[in-house]
Structure 1
Amino acid sequence: MTEITDNHEHTIIETAKQLFVARGYEKTCMCDIAAAAGINRTTLHYYFRTKEKMFQAVFGSIVQTIVPKLKSIFDENIPLLAKMDKALDEYISIFIYNPYLPKFVIGEIQRDVNHLTDTARSLGFDTYLSEIMQDIYVGIEQENLNKPPIVLVFSTFYSQLIFPFLARNLIVALFYENDMEFAEKFMQEWKKNVINQMRMMLEK
């Protein structure tokens, strides 16, 4: 019975994730999730009584695929830029597999950033992020790197990472034959560009 329950819950979360990512929080209703998951609303409410609880589960599953891996990378005893290189690999792999995820996150930031950050805090992910930030500070000190404001490090890294995925359709239409070329050719070259940007910012 537990296995069946877990399977149902997993199916609901994955279905809701697809709808939230495609439509955003406000434009997704519980009846849409139930219909897409092939269940009735009574069954859906048995697992998740409100859309907010549903969103927490979806957001938790998204962040859980990223943040612990990042924390593990930044705990490694390697140079800071090498950590950023490995972190980029993780992000790029996730975004290539979930191409609408960056758009979803940006959309939720624009719609209601407090809702997004409050959800992250309620799930305890702010602790992970604080530890990663501390690892960056320590790396900068130990490696005698430049000390730009952390907001510049954060903004440069994430803006460079996310932009290609937001402009993906245009980039493919103008320069490539298909999405595979975008993933295999462009993103690998773009990753080198991001690391070079971070190197110019951090190295003396």
Structure 2
Amino acid sequence: MNSTSTIAHQKTEQTENIESRIIEAAKQEFIKKGFEQTSMSDIAAVVGINRPTLHYYFRTKDKMFQAVFASIVAKFLPHIDTIFSTQQSFSEKLEDVIDVYVSIFSTNPLLPKFIIGEIQRDANHLIETFYSLNLDQYLKHIGEFLEKEMESGNFKKVPLPFIFMTLYSQLAFPFLSKNLTMKLFFNEDKDTFNAFLQEWKQHIISQITYLLKP
């Protein structure tokens, strides 16, 4: 590699590093404060750069929000889509899906609160971001899988919103109520809470299985 190529390579690495730092800082700020209460100046300050530099990478807060949303959702939705295409039993698929969500929420415990906050603030903005990243294809595949199983008689015919709300309410609430339940039931012990999550996972599987049982 000649000196010109080396310099270009170093500049590319530096650019990618700064962009990654911006996305990570924006993710933490958005999750903590919500989209509306987070300013570009807040994000620039966390990264340690000035606003003109920040605007060089992301001209608008919406573009930054898309990058943050993609960094979270685009990482696990394709994985979930793959799980549903395997030859495992439905309960095994469901267990794997729940494991993915528990891992994401455990790493980002304020994420459920952030998503619900954005739904309350501006659901259209969240949906537009979802579609702009072509993430709707994954939900469509999962919906098609469920409807096919219902048509074949393997599942009871249940409206998809019932399945969606049953699953996500039970996935999200332990994290939304964590500050309370940690004090009331788990003596603020993280290991006990994590053990509870594993038991709760089996509860969710039972509930969904009962809901769909023909």
TM-score (norm 1): 0.96
TM-score (norm 2): 0.91
1:27 maps onto 2:37 in alignment = yes
RMSD: 1.2
- CA distances 1:39-83 after superposition (whole Å, capped 9, x unpaired): 111110000011111111111111112101101101111222321
1:151 maps onto 2:161 in alignment = yes
1:7-86, aligned counterparts within 5 Å? 7-86=17-96
Alpha-carbon deviation of 1:180? Answer: 3.0
Asked which structure has the greater CA Rg, the reply is: 2
Query: 192, 195, 204: which one pairs with 1:181?
Result: 192
| CA distance in structure 2 between the partners assigned to 1:168 and 1:139 by the alignment | 35
| CA distance in structure 2 between the partners assigned to 1:40 and 1:197 by the alignment | 50
Alpha-carbon deviation of 1:143? Answer: 5.8
| CA distance in structure 2 between the partners assigned to 1:81 and 1:141 by the alignment | 19
| CA distance in structure 2 between the partners assigned to 1:68 and 1:79 by the alignment | 19
Q: After the TM superposition, list the runs of 4 or more consecutive aligned residues in structure 1 that deviate by more than 3 angstroms.
A: 139-143
1:163 maps onto 2:198 in alignment = no
Counterpart amino acid of 2:158? P
| CA distance in structure 2 between the partners assigned to 1:181 and 1:19 by the alignment | 29
Q: Percent identity?
A: 50
Gaps of 5+ in 1: none
Query: 90, 99, 105: which one pairs with 2:115?
Result: 105
1:114-129, aligned counterparts within 5 Å? 114-129=124-139
* Equivalent pairs, count: 203
Alpha-carbon deviation of 1:15? Answer: 0.3
Counterpart amino acid of 2:108? N
- CA distances 1:82-108 after superposition (whole Å, capped 9, x unpaired): 211110010001101110011000100
